[in-house]
Amino acid sequence: MALTQLQDTDAINKDADLLTQEVEKLRLSFEQYFLGLEKHEPVKQRQAVVNLIRKYSGANIKNPRAKFKLQQAIARYNTYTTYWDRVLREIEDGTYNRDIFKAKLHEKERGAAPLQASAPATAGKPESVSKKPDPYDQLFRTYVENRKKCGETIQGLTLESFRKTIAGQIENIKKKTNAQGVKFQVTTENGKTKLKATPVAKK
């Protein structure tokens, strides 16, 4: 693929920023899937990231800064994808433990363990002994972590206030849409942390 200088300085930098953001969103989506907060693996979201990476496969990028930026984003994805694939294999084999994943995730949030060393967890598998994680607690931790990554303040944020806010949103959405339930996802838009609410239709 032949790239012009304009593409080097503008398009590649833009795509590198987009790729960095999308990889982070994908990481959070997989995290919620592994915790059981999302029912489906983010296959389409992952494919979109792969397609963006393939766009520059074998490309001759002239601008060193743009090239480095893109390579960093790709390297981050490669690190995550090795971990994700391992967890997915354990889910398929039935050896995945959600509570172990939850404990390791809490360690990582405290700076005690990197993502690569995190142990996997169970999604969609019955738990015979372990107590099911509190979905509000996990969503809150993911929300706080993402705000930290975006450089946003977390002062005054508490699980109790977060729980009340979410409960209020669920009630309002159910009234407006007659939905059976509401799914939440932590996203990043323009460098700001957002909670995306999706109504779940009645069967």
Can you list the pairs that 190-194 forms with residues at least 24 positions away whose Cβ atoms lie under 8 Å?
A: 191/150, 191/151, 192/150, 192/152, 193/143, 193/146, 193/147, 193/150, 193/152
Classify residue 158 by burial, with Cβ atoms within 10 Å: 0-12, 13-18, 19+.
Answer: exposed
- CA torsion sign for 161, 192, 75, 81 is positive
Neighbour tally for 51: CB within 10 Å:
9
User: Using an 8 Å Cβ cutoff, are 97 and 119 in contact?
Assistant: yes
**At residue 4, does pLDDT exceed 50?**
no
Does residue 37 carry a pLDDT above 80?
yes
Cβ atoms of 142 and 28 within 8 Å: the answer is yes
Count of CB atoms situated within 10 Å of the CB of 146 = 21
Counting residues of the chain whose pLDDT is more than 70, the rounded percentage is 76
Distance CA 110, CA 91 (A): 26
- Provide, rounded to the nearest whole percent, the portion of the chain with pLDDT above 90: 16
Q: How much is the average pLDDT of 33-53?
A: 90
| 134-148 pLDDT per residue, tens | 667 788 888 888 888
pLDDT, tens digit (0-9, with 9 covering 90-100), for 54-78 = 988 877 888 888 888 888 989 999 9
Structure tokens at 186: 């932590």
Question: 34: number of CA atoms within 13 Å, CB side?
Answer: 30
Please tell me the least confidently modeled range out of 13-27, 93-107, 110-124, 156-170: 110-124
- Looking at every residue in the chain, the average pLDDT score rounds to 77
Total-model pTM: 0.50
Residue 195 has pLDDT above 80, yes or no: yes
What is the band of 106 on the pLDDT scale with cuts at 50, 70, 90?
low
Q: Determine the pLDDT at residue 6.
A: 40
Model confidence at 22: pLDDT above 90: yes
Among the listed residues 30, 20, 11, 19, the one whose alpha carbon sits nearest the alpha carbon of residue 150 = 20
- Determine the pLDDT at residue 33: 87
The answer, yes or no, to whether residue 41 has pLDDT greater than 60, is: yes
Residue 103's pLDDT band (cuts 50, 70, 90) = low
Q: Which of 23-37, 88-102, 115-129 has the highest mean pLDDT?
A: 23-37
- Average pLDDT of the segment spanning 14-42: 89
Q: Is 150 helix (H, G, I), strand (E, B) or coil?
A: coil
